[in-house]
């Protein structure tokens, strides 16, 4: 019988069989199979530790399961050949320190398996045809010294590189875009040598200003709307039927069913009519090139105006005359109702907060919307009418799966209404504190992670418009969407808040120290603070006013105690607590930006997914 081939030799031979179609590697296959003497091979104690076949004229695909049993391999170089096809799963090569696959014709995506090679010091994939995004968890390769991915077709944003070890980074000539994260690691690299040839990259490090609009209007990532899995839903996410939804506010104010909005709107309607009568008297058609459309409802008295895109100054002048009593649909929205229809709606009081009073309005057509009536006082004080309109136009353009869409606004003398989609699944406040049981159990940590990611997504999106902040983030302002995705509402309205409104201690606890006395001093970093408080609320199920002020280490203990955790819960819980802890740093400068928070949360999420894949993959 022929001698048994040692497994390392089998690996090398099966690699050669497909990857070396022109027979360039001279293995002496007929003799003693002394593979340790084969070209480019170096062994230690009979096992292959180096396999260097560079510039050998190899042509062919890199066969999967060929080199993967070389688990003692430290160095693998196949650079400068003509290998093609995808890079196979290399995760079994756990001892690999240097991997050179550059200057070939490899295609496909960044091989996710490389993330498992945690001993990697050098990774070179440059000059291939690799495409798709760079995995966010590239940051898990925490010993990496040199990373060369240049001259491929990689796209998407840069991971939040934070490896202090990294000395060489070449991402040039790809299709990467978005802001280069300002991490100490990335800040070390030169704009030209590391990042050039990616026209879409922007930010401080590449000396190019990011245009907020390009992201502002960009498509939202679909991952943020991934519905919770069945199991998560059954674990604690409960559908709260709208008819029985109760909030802390309901208890305070009681339930008013009737024609409240109608009452509010009667005055406004009168004003509209007055303006329409005036318009008719003037004999002018209320029409202009694609900006303001006259609708049949206008004749009927509704006064609906559809606004598309930027207004011209001329238009503004004309509109000023008709400012009173206009329902303005945001962002070229279809006008699915008129002021009159809204007036006839039956309204139910949802609650009252610092900005105003919120109603659920059910129209005759069964269409349900949420109407927020800004306080008379703030409506008069906050800013002038034009300021309000200008602000609402910017805010009304925000569209993101994690924001409740603002559909329309209305303004008449002393009256301001803001109209959102109605969200039937209740708020995060309901979900966390539960109106049913007195002592609600904290959510499962995977649900916390999902909600935290959604909220961070929405906030980071708002912050991309440099002039915008939420200003009033709290659990009652995070609603649950159709797929139980978290949707932020009441964004960017804090400006109009009534400063004399006496806030409850929970709302006050979300306020960052710098914003406590004057909401005018709030910045994006104050939103980050509120996010930190929200995250602790999520993790512990405790109202913000009950959160003790603790050093990070003690916070970990407290969170664990509140969750009755005996240490068996996942360590990712600890990572989430850590994120909350840095978000609620006392000094705003110490808090990360929202996009950095998002990256951290995604990093935690990816490590979960990765571990799951690893476990199923290895079993
Ligand atoms: N679009 C919506 N769909 C369904 N429920 C909503 C919607 N918007 C707000 N709510 C709910 O209505 C209630 C009242 O909201 P409101 O905004 O008036 O109070 P708040 O959020 O406590 O205070 P603030 O005015 O300071 O934001 C809250 O419980 C909120 O969760």
pLDDT for 615 equals 56
| Residue to mutate (ligand 1; options 423, 425, 477, 534; most atoms within 8 A of CB) | 477
Token pair for residue 616?
């199923």
Q: How far is the CA of 247 from the centre of ligand 1 (A)?
A: 9
Q: Find, among 501, 583, 586, 595, the residue nearest to 537 by Cα.
A: 583
Q: What is the pTM of this model?
A: 0.54
Structure tokens at 406: 């603002």
Ligand 1 centroid – CA 490 distance (Å): 7
Give, using CA atoms, the residue closest to atom 24 of ligand 1. 353
- Distance in Å, CA 413 to ligand 1 centroid: 24
Measure the CA–CA gap between 61 and 23, rounded to whole angstroms.
14
Cα 147 from chain centre = 26
Q: Which numbered atom of ligand 1 lies nearest the CA of 352?
A: 18
Tell me the ipTM for this assembly.
0.96
Identify the pLDDT of residue 303: 28
Report how far ligand 1's centroid is from the alpha carbon of 431 (Å). 14
Per-10-residue mean pLDDT of the chain, 619 residues long, equals: 71 92 80 79 91 94 91 94 95 93 96 89 96 86 92 91 89 92 84 92 85 36 31 29 35 34 43 38 27 25 30 37 65 79 87 88 90 71 71 88 92 86 90 66 88 95 88 95 90 83 85 85 94 96 91 89 77 90 94 94 82 55
- Ligand 1 mutation target, pool 476, 482, 507, 509, most atoms within 8 A of CB: 476
**pLDDT value for 276:** 37
Pocket of ligand 1 (CB under 6 A): 247, 249, 350-355, 358, 370, 404, 420, 422-423, 427, 472, 476-477, 479, 489-490
Q: What's residue 173's pLDDT?
A: 96
pLDDT at 343: 82
Of 249, 357, 358, 491, which is best to mutate to test ligand 1, by the most ligand atoms within 8 angstroms of its C-beta? 358
Quote the tokens at residue 154: 């990689």
- Among protein residues, the one whose CA lies closest to atom 22 of ligand 1: 353
What's the gap in Å between 360 CA and the centre of ligand 1? 10
The Å distance, Cα 353 to ligand 1 centre, comes to 8
* Torsion sign across C-alpha atoms 591, 597, 601, 606: negative
Q: Please state, in angstroms and rounded to a whole number, the distance separating the CA atoms of residues 164 and 186.
A: 10
- CA 503–ligand 1 middle distance (angstroms): 14
The atom number, within ligand 1, closest to the CA of 489 reads 8
Return the best residue to mutate from 252, 351, 372, 508 for the ligand 1 pocket (most ligand atoms within 8 A of CB).
351
User: Which pLDDT value is given to residue 337?
Assistant: 86
Edge-to-edge strand ranges of the sheet holding 168-170: 41-44, 47-52, 75-77, 98-100, 122-124, 146-148, 168-170
| φ/ψ of residue 483, rounded to 5 | -100, 20
Choosing from 350, 470, 499, 515 the residue with most ligand 1 atoms within 8 A of its CB, the one to mutate for a pocket test is: 350
Question: Quick check: 346 and 362 in contact, CB under 8 A?
Answer: yes
Please tell me the distance between residue 403's alpha carbon and the centre of ligand 1 in angstroms: 13
Query: How far does residue 471's CA lie from ligand 1's centre (Å)?
Result: 14
At residue 85, what are phi and psi to the nearest 5 degrees? 85, -175
Give 476 Cα–ligand 1 centroid separation in angstroms.
6
Inter-axis angle of helices 445-463 and 571-583, to 10 degrees? 30
């Amino acid at each position: 019988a022929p001698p048994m081939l040692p497994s390392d030799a089998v690996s090398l031979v099966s690699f050669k069989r497909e990857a070396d179609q022109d027979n360039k590697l001279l293995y002496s296959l007929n003799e003693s199979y002394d593979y340790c003497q084969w070209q480019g091979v170096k062994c230690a104690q009979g096992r292959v530790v180096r396999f260097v076949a560079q510039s050998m004229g190899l042509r062919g695909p890199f066969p999967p399961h060929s080199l993967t049993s070389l688990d003692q391999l430290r160095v693998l170089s196949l650079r400068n050949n003509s290998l093609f096809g995808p890079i196979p799963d290399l995760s079994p090569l756990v001892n690999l320190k240097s991997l050179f696959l550059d200057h070939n014709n490899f295609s496909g995506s960044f091989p996710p398996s490389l993330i498992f090679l945690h001993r990697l010091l050098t990774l070179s994939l440059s000059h291939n045809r690799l495409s798709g995004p760079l995995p966010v968890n590239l940051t898990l390769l925490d010993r990496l010294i040199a990373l060369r991915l240049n001259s491929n077709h990689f796209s998407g944003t840069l991971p939040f590189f934070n490896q202090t070890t990294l000395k060489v980074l070449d991402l040039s000539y790809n299709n990467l875009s978005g802001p280069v994260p300002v991490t100490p690691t990335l800040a070390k690299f030169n704009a030209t040598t590391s990042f050039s040839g990616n026209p879409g990259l922007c930010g401080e490090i590449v000396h190019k200003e990011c245009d907020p609009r390009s992201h502002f209007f960009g498509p939202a990532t679909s991952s943020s709307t991934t519905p919770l899995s069945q199991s998560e839903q059954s674990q604690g996410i409960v559908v709260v039927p709208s008819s029985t939804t109760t909030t802390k506010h309901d208890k305070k104010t009681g339930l008013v069913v009737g024609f409240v909005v109608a009452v509010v709107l009667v005055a406004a309607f009168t004003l509209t009519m007055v303006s329409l009568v005036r318009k008719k008297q003037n004999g002018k058609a209320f029409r202009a090139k694609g900006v303001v459309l006259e609708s049949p409802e206008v004749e009927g008295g509704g006064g609906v105006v559809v606004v598309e895109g930027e207004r011209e100054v001329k238009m503004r002048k004309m509109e000023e005359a008709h400012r009173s009593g206009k329902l303005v649909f945001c962002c070229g929205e279809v006008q699915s109702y008129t002021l009159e229809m809204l007036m006839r709606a039956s309204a139910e009081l949802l609650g009252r907060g610092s900005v105003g009073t919120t109603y659920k309005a059910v129209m005759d057509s069964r269409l349900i919307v949420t109407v927020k009536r800004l306080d008379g006082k703030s409506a008069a004080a906050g800013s002038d009418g034009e300021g309000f309109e200008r602000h609402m136009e910017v805010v009304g353009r925000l569209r993101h799966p994690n924001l409740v869409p603002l559909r329309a606004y209305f303004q008449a003398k002393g009256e301001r209404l803001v109209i959102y989609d109605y969200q039937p699944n209740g708020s995060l406040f309901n979900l966390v504190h539960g109106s049913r049981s007195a002592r609600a159990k904290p959510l499962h940590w995977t649900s916390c992670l999902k909600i935290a990611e959604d909220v961070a997504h929405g906030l980071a999106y708002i912050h991309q418009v440099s002039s915008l902040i939420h200003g009033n983030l709290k659990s009652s302002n995070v609603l649950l969407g159709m797929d139980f995705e978290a949707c932020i509402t009441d964004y960017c309205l804090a400006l109009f808040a009534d400063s004399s409104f006496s806030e409850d201690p929970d709302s006050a606890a979300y306020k960052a120290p710098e914003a406590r006395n004057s909401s005018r001093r709030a910045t994006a970093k104050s939103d980050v603070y509120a996010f930190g408080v929200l995250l602790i609320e999520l993790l512990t199920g405790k109202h913000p006013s009950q959160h003790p002020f603790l050093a990070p280490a003690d916070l970990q203990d407290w969170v664990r105690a509140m969750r009755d955790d005996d240490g068996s819960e996942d360590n990712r819980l600890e990572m989430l607590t850590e994120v909350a802890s840095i978000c609620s740093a006392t000094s705003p400068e110490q808090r990360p930006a929202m996009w950095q928070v998002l990256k951290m949360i995604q990093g935690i999420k990816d490590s979960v997914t990765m571990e799951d894949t690893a476990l199923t993959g290895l079993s």
